[in-house]
Amino acid sequence: MVGGWWSPAVGLSGIGLVAALEVERTDAGREIFFNVQQPWAVYVFMATLVGLLVYGFGRHAGLWLLGKPTPGLRLHPRHRVRNAMRLGLGQEKLRRDPYAGVMHWCIFSSIVVLTFVTAQVALDADLSIHFLQGNYYLFFSFYGDLFGVIGLIGVGMALNRRYFDSYRRLRWDERLEDHLVLWGLALILLSGFAVEALRIGATELAEHESWARWSFASYGIAKLVEVFEFRDGQLLGAHTWAWWTHVVIAFGWLGLVVFTKLDHLFFAPANAYLLRTDAPGRLTTIENIEEREIFGVGQVQDFTWKQLFELDACVRCGRCTSVCPANLAGQPLSPMHLIQDLKAHLANVGPELQRVGHAGGDQRAVATVAMVGEVIKDETLWACRTCGACVQECPVMIEHVPTIVDMRRYLVMDEARVPATAQAALENMEVRGHPWRGTALTRDSWMEGLEDVPMFDGSQEYLYWVGCSGALVERNLPITRSVFKLLREAGASFGVLGQEETCNGDPARRLGNEYLYQILAQQLVETFKAKNVQRVITNCPHCFNTFKNEYPQFDGRFEVFHHTEFLARALGEGRLRPQHRVDSSVTYHDSCYLGRLNDVYDAPRQILEFLPGAAVQEMARSRSRGLCCGAGGGNMWQEEVGERRVNHVRAEEAVGTGAESVVSNCPFCIQMFEDGIPAIQPEEEGRMRAFDIAELLDQAVFGRNGSGAGGGESVR
């Protein structure tokens, strides 16, 4: 007999329990006999594996460090640790898919627990501590088998989803490694059971069967083998072959970590730690923009190292692509393939960039293929709605939207490659202070027919920010009037800027013109400060997000409310009293910039609950799963390329509820539904109509023809 040894192979399979020990030991009168001779090769496997892991992760790290520094990673360490535990190790996002959540928990928990099993074996055997005795040894045998079974359940669920379920997204980028990873883990677990079952059959069934039962799964297999009445020598020979097969498969599987998506076992918790701690609706600022030579991201070294790290974290699960509104409409954007294309490009050019960088050469001269334009097509970048659905669903916490916007910035500010309609909107913002070319309306057109519209002079509590869409788009004027009337009815102290309003820059930033955005933002921050603005109520979720999350980047710190938040509170406090019935069935559409990016889901629904006669029917995609209307990311001012328009897809879902009206909280969403619904319901009679929630509340408070009516259509 030779001494004991420890291997991660046993921890991963775990079923062998202490099958890695080649010792004969008596524990409370119980003999545990192991049959493997000359296991010295395991140390060679171990050394090879460690060297491979060090080399692989070092190679990865060298490519990440091609990127620029990532600011802010030292901030909020406690919050980051919680993210790593909750989102990374706890896999919280997978709970959105209960089947996948259970499957991953089974696999992950078995790996963790069985690695703990191996660690105890190492302490007991190699360090001669000898604590695996008596009752604890029996319990040890039990939970080792238990989590081996749990692991097999998880693997079985994974095999079912990949080969038998109709999950198309698993085949969008299917590779050989996917099958190797899954079947390799299955073989490790099964061979581990075989090792333990053969040991039990050769040593315990005849003398200590009561102890063997604690390894309940292996014991069951051993009893089946006993039926064949093998001789002890045959069982011992089979045990030796099973043991070595198990070890070789396990070490081979572990070696896949640095070459396959198995690396997410480490990268997912790490990326959760690196996850941004500020608002998800905030884009980064280009600091000292006047001094920059390169404004956006045109080559891999222009990304931050954290963005390059994210490329390796991707597991190609397809969850991001399956919820992307552009992809659902058949448009040229798949967030998963975008990340994978960038990863492949980094692998292609990275080693040469490293060599040139070490030699002090010009890294920008290395690329023979344009990352933006060839690897990632222009139309792919312009199809993004910046809705954040991909980020919301990603189980390894990749932040696709900032990466896409950074490349847009390169297209706009470095290459001047902008769709004509988007360019027209940008030029209009620069010259006229709003993106709506051709409008005959002015900033105070909505005031016509209203009395005593107060101008904000600094003495009022709130600034009512109407916004470009609320003032300069004909369809949205009734919404603006309704909000105004309701604010006045609720007794709010507020005023408006009227002709002094200008675009806050949100469309420019989302379209990639960070330079124009910063000019507009800085000007408006100065205006707000000069007028002593402290609290703002907005019509538009995009304005809400910009003021709340992005203006603090320019020292513009204000308390910001969307009109649904203010109105819901006024209803709850009794300052608004709906007295007229709104007899209509409605379905509510969550705008991305209010809901997903700012977590405001309840306030609009609370308003609907106050409306007499309003019957609410939720769409299948609602709340954090809500589908974009199609206008986000500057696509309000772009021609769409693809099989369908996104607003037609969303309108179809709204019409599918059977509701008479679709209600939202965003002027962009209303415009997109106004355009999309006729494409789904060509006949005007019985056609669904789109309303802002303030229009319905206006009718409930003032009546359809009351003095407070906002001027919009009745819901009936």
Summarised one tens digit per residue, pLDDT across range 284-293 is: 999 999 999 9
Mean pLDDT of 386-411: 97
> Contact, 414 vs 349, CB < 8 A?
no
Task: Assess whether 142 and 186 both reside in one domain.
Answer: yes
Position 200 scores a pLDDT of 85
**pLDDT: which is higher, 17 or 107:** 107
Report pLDDT digits (tens) over 233-247. Answer: 888 888 888 888 998
Q: How confident is the model at residue 29 (pLDDT cuts 50, 70, 90)?
A: very low
Residue 260 in any domain: the answer is: no
Q: How many domains does the chain have?
A: 3
- Whether residues 396 and 459 fall in one domain: no
Q: Could you tell me if residue 162 is inside a domain? A: yes
Given its phi and psi angles, is residue 33 left (phi above 0), alpha (psi -120 to 50 degrees) or beta? beta
Domain membership of residue 175 (yes or no) is yes
Lowest mean pLDDT of 115-129, 391-405, 625-639, 652-666, name the range.
115-129
- pLDDT beyond 50 at 15: no
pLDDT band at 35 (very low <50, low <70, confident <90, very high): low
Of residues 641, 424, 632, the one with CA closest to residue 545: 632
Query: Per-residue confidence at 671, pLDDT binned at 50, 70, 90?
Result: very high
Give the model's pLDDT for residue 12.
44
Q: What is the pLDDT of residue 6?
A: 32
Q: Give the chain's radius of gyration (CA, Å).
A: 31
Instruction: Provide the domain limits for residue 405.
Output: 278-417
653 close to 672: Cβ distance less than 8 angstroms? no
Mean pLDDT (the chain) is: 90
Mean pLDDT computed over 138-153 = 93
Would you state the pLDDT for residue 18?
36
Pair 429, 305 in one domain: no
Q: What is the pLDDT of residue 708?
A: 43
- Check residue 134 and give its pLDDT: 79
Which range, of 177-186, 246-255, 639-648, averages the lowest pLDDT?
246-255
Q: Which of 287-296, 340-349, 699-708 has the lowest mean pLDDT?
A: 699-708
Query: Are 398 and 470 within one domain?
Result: no
Mean pLDDT along residues 337-342: 98
Is residue 262 assigned to a domain? no
pLDDT at 117: 85
Lowest mean pLDDT, pick from 245-254, 429-438, 450-459: 245-254
Residue 291 has, within 13 A of its CA and on its CB side, a CA count of: 2
Let me know whether 349 and 427 are in one domain: no
Q: C-alpha dihedral over 644, 649, 651, 655, to 10 degrees?
A: 120
- 379 with 434, same domain? no
Residue 306 lies in a domain: yes
pLDDT at 28 over 70: no
Q: Which of 390, 417, 444 is the last residue of a domain?
A: 417
- Give phi and psi for 665, each to the nearest 5: -135, 15
Range with the lowest mean pLDDT among 242-251, 413-422, 508-517?
242-251
Please say if the pLDDT value at position 34 is more than 70.
Answer: no
From 364, 397, 417, the end of a domain falls on 417
Q: Residue 364: which CATH number?
A: 1.10.1060
Residue type, 602: D
Spatial separation of the C-alpha atoms in residues 501 and 544, rounded to whole Å: 15
pLDDT at 210: 80
Q: Are residues 349 and 238 in the same domain?
A: no
Instruction: State whether 469 and 484 are in the same domain.
Output: yes
Among 417, 442, 459, identify where a domain stops. Answer: 417
Kindly state whether residue 79 falls inside one of the protein's structural domains: yes
Query: 595 and 447, same structural domain?
Result: yes
Average pLDDT in the 295-315 region? 97
- Angle at the Cα of 600 (from 597 to 605), degrees rounded to 5? 140
**Confidence band for 120, pLDDT divided at 50, 70 and 90:** confident
Q: Same domain, yes or no, for 322 and 190?
A: no
- Say what the pLDDT of residue 36 is: 62
**Is 469 found in the same domain as 597?**
yes
Question: Does some domain include residue 400?
Answer: yes
Instruction: With both helix axes pointing from N to C terminus, report the angle between 41-64 and 305-313 in degrees, rounded to the nearest 10.
Output: 140
Q: Which of 55-59, 138-142, 298-302, 614-618 has the lowest mean pLDDT?
A: 138-142
The model's pLDDT over 563-576, given as tens digits with 9 standing for 90+, comes to 999 999 999 999 99
Task: Mark whether 412 and 442 lie in a shared domain.
Answer: no
Position 133 scores a pLDDT of 79
Average pLDDT over residues 417-433: 96
Does residue 273 lie in a domain region?
Answer: no
Question: Could you count the other beta carbons within 10 Å of the beta carbon of residue 81?
Answer: 13
